[in-house]
Structure 1
Amino acid sequence: MPDMGKPHCIKRLPTKVLVKDVSEEEAIEYVRKHTREHYEIPPDYEIRNICILGKAPMLVGIKERKKKLIFTFTRPCFGTDVLEMDTTPEEIETIRSDLRKD
């Protein structure tokens, strides 16, 4: 369960909704299918200081050449969405170092 004291309002991130109100399984499959590089997000993981909500496993996918992140987010009472956001090489490296399992 994420710490409810941490900010979790997804509207604070500049995202585009790719897929709206799907099952968590469908969202995970979308990320796997549309990114070659993806990582499992622990329940309390933050992107730009926003706690990503959802039940494990959740994924974040990296589109390095396009400088995009694709990730799942569950909005209470609304369901799970797949979101896309512009990113930076530094942010990609942070995600890799945080989530890569060697």
Structure 2
Amino acid sequence: MGCIELMDYEILLSDISFKEGREFIRRNFKDVHEVEPGYKLFDVYLIGIPPIVIGVENDHVIFPYVKPCHGTFVLKIEDREEVERLRAKR
């Protein structure tokens, strides 16, 4: 893909700190994965304060997305392949 903004996504939270996004994901999703900054998700390298927490719910990936000059968001995107790749990483 390469551009999150061109994907079909749902904004779960906006105008938050990275820590608030991490806590939201841990609190609201059972299947949680920790990755380091630079982890490639949807052909985009994630940036943020380690660990970066990614939630999985069915075929959806829930993750903090930092858009420079705009802040941090928690996004939800459906993508079975990314879910399988995250689960295989364990």
For the superposition of Structure 1 and Structure 2, which TM-score range results when normalised by the shorter chain? 0.7 to 0.9
The 1-side partners of 2:29 and 2:75 are apart by 13
Give the length in aligned residue pairs. 89
Residue matched to 1:91: 82
Report SS of the residue matched to 1:80.
Answer: strand
Q: Residue 61 of structure 2 contacts residue 82 of structure 2 at CA under 8 Å; is this kept in 1? A: no
Aligned to 2:60: 68
TM-score scaled by length of structure 1 = 0.77
Q: Say what the alpha-carbon RMSD is for the aligned residues.
A: 1.5
TM-score (norm: length of structure 2): 0.86
Asked if the contact 2:4–2:42 (Cα under 8 Å) also holds between the matched residues in 1, the reply is no
Deviation, structure 1 residue 51: 1.4
In structure 2, what is the equivalent of residue 78 of structure 1? 70
Instruction: State how far apart, in whole Å, the 2-side matches of 1:55 and 1:15 are.
Output: 22
Considering only CA atoms, is the larger Rg found in Structure 1 or Structure 2?
1
Identity of counterpart residues, as a percentage? Answer: 30
Mapped to 1, the partners of 2:82 and 2:18 lie a distance apart of 24
For residue 46 of structure 2, the aligned residue among 44, 49, 52 is 52
Q: Which amino acid aligns with 1:17?
A: I
Separation in 2 of the partners of 1:56 and 1:70?
A: 16
| The structure with more strand, counted as a fraction of residues | 2
Structure 1 residue runs of 4 or more that deviate by more than 4 Å after TM superposition:
none
